[in-house]
Amino acid sequence: MDTLVLKLVLTPTLIGTASLAGRRWGPAVSGWLVGFPFTSAPVALFLAISEGTAFAATAAASTMAGTISQAAFSVAYGWLARRVGWPLCVVGSSVAFALSTVALRRLSLPLLPLFLVVVVALVAALRLMPVPDAGRRTSSTAVARWDIAARMVVATAFVLLLTGIANALGPELTGLLSPFPLYAGILAAFGHHFHGPQSAIAVLRGLIHGLFAFGGFFLALSALIERTGIVLAFTAAIAVALAIQAGALWTLHRGPSVSGRA
């Protein structure tokens, strides 16, 4: 199948499915769901098909490092949400992601030590992240009917753009930019706008829990794709991510959450 067809079908299908599931079970679970690399995994697949497994392995290692930037985005948004509206939160957290990306370009570590740094960063982010006020009810503004379609369009456009310019960016910068939490940012901003800052904070705490699986996915992918090929490497990476996600969901259910739809 042509890679353009895969991009146009796979990405919006994954994003739409996650949106509906998140709406059913609440903002924290929706954030946890997007911890699975719904956007970055298709990017990695398309890079492996179009640029080769060596390029994809390097990009996957950088994408794993970019997990730290997602955590920085989440913490920045969480604290800003208590003081300002969602537009400034998106701008401020995007700046935090960009600064983290610049710093990570200077970080050069072997794969396993890099993964340990990612895990430490995520644990620190969970401790730094504001806790949603379960005693404060969120608003119940009606959500526009077109919002899921808009999320699918934006996410697909991002995949098309990033894979289209991958050659110019190179594997390291492509990998660092691909985990930009576009979908989590959309979920947080929509939740913030329709249900208040507590919903956005719950989404992003859920995201951080889910990012352990994100890191595990790209650790396995980077380690295996040149040795085993695309199919076996992606199968193993998905299995690792699902196992970690199950544990993260158990941990998430033990922690604070806020009701409402994302």
What are the pLDDT digits (tens) for 120-156? Answer: 999 999 999 988 665 454 444 455 566 677 777 877 8
Most confident of 71-75, 83-87, 105-109, 207-211: 71-75
CB 177 within 8 A of CB 70: no
Q: How high is the pLDDT of residue 256?
A: 54
Percent of the chain with pLDDT over 70: 81
Q: How high is the pLDDT of residue 252?
A: 61
Q: How high is the pLDDT of residue 259?
A: 47
The rounded distance, in Å, linking the Cα atoms of 242 and 10 is 19
Q: How high is the pLDDT of residue 228?
A: 95
Instruction: Work out how many domains the chain is built from and give that number.
Output: 1
Span between the terminal Cα atoms of the chain, in Å: 33
Assess if residue 98 is contained within a domain. yes
| Two tokens, residue 121 | 């960063």
Q: How high is the pLDDT of residue 47?
A: 85
- Angle between helix axes 230-254 and 40-51 (nearest 10 degrees) is 170
Considering only residues 234 and 246, tell me which one the structure prediction assigns the higher pLDDT. Answer: 234
The DSSP code sequence of 107-176 is ----HHHHHHHHHHHHHHHHHHSPPP-TTSPPP-PPPPTTHHHHHHHHHHHHHHHHHHTHHHH-HHHHHH
| Two tokens, residue 11 | 């990405």
Mean pLDDT of 31-47: 78
Assess if residue 148 is contained within a domain. yes
Considering only residues 174 and 100, tell me which one the structure prediction assigns the higher pLDDT. Answer: 100
Q: How high is the pLDDT of residue 42?
A: 80
Asked whether residue 64 carries a pLDDT value surpassing 90, the answer given is yes
Assess if residue 88 is contained within a domain. yes
Least confident piece of the model among 46-50, 140-144, 182-186, 252-256: 140-144
**How many Cα atoms occupy the beta-carbon half-sphere of 252 within 13 Å?**
29
Q: How does 94-126 read in b/e, with b if 16+ C-beta sit within 10 Å?
A: bebbeebbeebeeeeeeeeebbebbbebbeebb
Residue 1 confidence class, pLDDT cut points 50, 70, 90: very low
Assess if residue 262 is contained within a domain. no
Q: Average pLDDT, whole number, for the chain?
A: 81
Assess if residue 73 is contained within a domain. yes
Assess if residue 41 is contained within a domain. yes
Percent of the chain with pLDDT over 90: 35
Q: How high is the pLDDT of residue 219?
A: 96
Assess if residue 259 is contained within a domain. no
Assess if residue 261 is contained within a domain. no
Q: How high is the pLDDT of residue 170?
A: 82
Query: How many other C-beta atoms are found inside a 10 Å radius of the C-beta of residue 158?
Result: 18
| Two tokens, residue 60 | 């996957």
Mean pLDDT of 159-179: 77
Q: How high is the pLDDT of residue 137?
A: 47
Asked whether residue 6 carries a pLDDT value surpassing 80, the answer given is no
Angle CA 129–251–196, to nearest 5: 45
Domain hosting 221: range is 3-19+26-132+142-254
